[in-house]
Amino acid sequence: MKFIIDHFLLVGIAVLSGGALLWPVLTQRGKKASPQQVTLLINRGKATIVDVRDAAAFGEGHLPDARNIPLGELDKRRGELEKFKNRTAVVVCQKGTRAFGAAKILEKAGFADVVVLDGGIDAWKTQGMPITK
């Protein structure tokens, strides 16, 4: 206890930095799916893939049959996905962090089942899953 009192600034910095490291994990709300789980959804024909990266990144490689709607345009273009509301919407970004914002937009638009590809396209490639160019 004496150490904490004598070094309150050091302890405060340690607690603050630990909180900063945990913040991204704590703020991600929503369902995540591993590349294997997404593969099962695709194979069963129950998924619509929404890639929210920009067109250049999408052109470098994407999941098969993915629809490219950049995150900044998703709110305006969500009507393109209306006919897929009864399917699971799988949202994909580069690393799996920006996709949570897109998932919230789709949930507000009435999509009942929205999941985020855990780790994004990077995790998909790491697992050796197929990429379409």
Is 94 a domain residue?
yes
pLDDT digits (tens, 9 = 90+) for 29-79: 668 889 999 999 989 888 999 999 999 999 999 999 999 999 999 989 988
CB 78 within 8 A of CB 106: yes
Is 10 a domain residue?
no
CA distances to 3, 7, 25, 66, 70 from 75, in Å: 52, 49, 25, 18, 10
Is 23 a domain residue?
no
CATH no. for residue 77? 3.40.250.10
The structure tokens listed for 9 are 């600034």
Element (H, E) at 21: helix 8-27
Catalytic center residues: 93
pLDDT of amino acid 96? 83
Is 121 a domain residue?
yes
Is 115 a domain residue?
yes
The pTM for the full model equals 0.76
